[in-house]
């Protein structure tokens, strides 16, 4: 494979990653890391560094459109960035000495757990519960645009979600996945937010989270410009397409798509990590 073919392959794969990242709030790293490690044999630390750069591009490409359309909750995203940024710095430091096959197995297990929790439905009685007092005090409530107008919503269990966001930050720095999977789960499952609000607010947050840990990977030489350039361009194109699709997509379809993608990639990463081929 020559340089031109490799660049084209990376660009196409990154475009798909950007589409998935924008549509589901995952950040694109769940596709980029397996593409580079399993498909092209790249060391997982270089794959994670490249994925973090692509996550920043995904967030930049999708977040602006979501904010303009009124889906993202800016106050909520900024509040949780405190936890995710600190966690991302810790995760990037741990990644320096962790064995690569262990990182691959953790990557797969994290995605499988995300899929299992995301597929569970919310009980109606929980959806109708009153907003958390901390959410009201911090003015974290918001509205979601719908066909007939807007629908109000209010976050719940803010302290628990804040702790989960810290874990999400650690996973971002360690695995390069933008921690979108856990952020979406924290907002969707714990805080009981509408699914589109969860995914779009996650997209708003992941850029800052990834930037915090990407700086450490750059300083250690784990970001290769030859890999990063086509990946970033492809991710931006895919993210732009994903934002157009999300506005009209059904929440149930998004959930099914989210689960299918991460289960397939998770199983492959666990198998290859167990074999020691990553």
Is the confidence at residue 124, as pLDDT, over 60?
no
Q: Could you report the per-residue pLDDT of 35-54, keeping only the tens digit for each?
A: 788 778 888 888 888 888 87
Residue 22: the pLDDT is: 67
Q: Could you report the per-residue pLDDT of 54-75, keeping only the tens digit for each?
A: 777 767 666 777 777 777 888 8
Contact at 8 Å (CB) between 28 and 228? Answer: no
Using CA atoms, how far apart are residues 106 and 175, in angstroms rounded to an integer? 8
Residue 20: the pLDDT is: 73
Using CA atoms, how far apart are residues 199 and 71, in angstroms rounded to an integer? 9
Question: What is the residue-wise DSSP string for 186-209?
Answer: IIIIIS---HHHHHHHHHHHHHHH
Helix (H, G, I), strand (E, B) or coil at 143: strand
Rounded alpha-carbon distances, angstroms, from residue 42 to 35, 53, 61, 131, 276: 9, 16, 26, 46, 14
Give percent of the chain above pLDDT 70: 82
Contact at 8 Å (CB) between 258 and 24? Answer: yes
Residue 237: the pLDDT is: 84
Rounded alpha-carbon distances, angstroms, from residue 263 to 23, 85, 167, 215, 242: 16, 27, 20, 29, 20
pLDDT, greater one: 132 or 7:
7
Would you place residue 32 in the very low, low, confident or very high pLDDT band (cuts 50, 70, 90)?
Answer: confident
Mean predicted lDDT score pLDDT of the chain: 78
Using CA atoms, how far apart are residues 117 and 16, in angstroms rounded to an integer? 24
Residue 72: the pLDDT is: 82
Q: Could you report the per-residue pLDDT of 186-241, keeping only the tens digit for each?
A: 887 788 788 778 878 887 887 788 888 888 888 888 888 888 888 888 888 887 78
Would you place residue 6 in the very low, low, confident or very high pLDDT band (cuts 50, 70, 90)?
Answer: confident
Q: What is the DSSP letter of 144?
A: E
Domain housing 224: 3-275
> What domain count does the chain have?
1
Helix (H, G, I), strand (E, B) or coil at 146: strand
Look up residue 119 and give its two tokens.
């597929």
Residue 118: the pLDDT is: 60
Contact at 8 Å (CB) between 206 and 33? Answer: no
Would you place residue 243 in the very low, low, confident or very high pLDDT band (cuts 50, 70, 90)?
Answer: confident
Residue 123: the pLDDT is: 46
Is the confidence at residue 97, as pLDDT, over 50?
yes
Residues 235-264, mean pLDDT to the nearest whole number? 74
Give, in degrees to the nearest 5, the angle at Cα 97 between 273 and 32.
Answer: 50
Contact at 8 Å (CB) between 12 and 158? Answer: no
């Amino acid at each position: 494979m020559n340089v031109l073919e490799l660049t084209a392959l990376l660009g196409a794969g990154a475009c798909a990653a950007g589409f998935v990242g924008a549509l589901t709030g995952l950040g694109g790293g769940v596709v980029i890391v397996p593409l580079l490690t399993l498909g092209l044999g790249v060391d997982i630390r270089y794959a994670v560094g490249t994925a973090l750069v692509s996550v920043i591009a995904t967030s930049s490409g999708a977040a602006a459109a979501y904010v303009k359309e009124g889906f993202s909750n800016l106050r909520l995203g900024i509040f949780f960035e405190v936890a995710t940024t600190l966690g991302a710095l810790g995760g990037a430091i741990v990644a320096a000495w962790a064995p690569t096959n262990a990182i691959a197995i953790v990557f797969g297990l994290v995605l499988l757990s995300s899929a299992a929790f995301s597929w569970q439905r919310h009980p109606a009685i929980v959806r109708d519960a009153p907003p958390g007092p901390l959410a009201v005090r911090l003015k974290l409530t918001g509205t979601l645009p719908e066909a007939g107008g807007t629908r109000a919503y209010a976050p719940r269990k803010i302290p628990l979600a804040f702790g989960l966001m810290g874990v999400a930050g650690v996973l971002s720095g360690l695995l390069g996945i933008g921690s979108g999977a856990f952020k979406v789960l924290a907002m969707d499952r714990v805080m009981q937010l509408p699914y589109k609000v969860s995914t779009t607010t996650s997209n708003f947050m992941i850029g800052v989270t990834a930037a915090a840990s990407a700086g450490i990977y750059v300083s250690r030489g784990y970001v290769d410009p030859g890999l990063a350039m086509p990946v970033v361009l492809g991710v931006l194109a895919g993210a732009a397409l994903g934002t157009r699709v999300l506005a009209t997509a059904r929440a149930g379809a998004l959930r099914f798509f989210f689960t299918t993608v991460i289960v397939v990639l998770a199983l492959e990463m666990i198998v290859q990590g167990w074999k020691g081929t990553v």
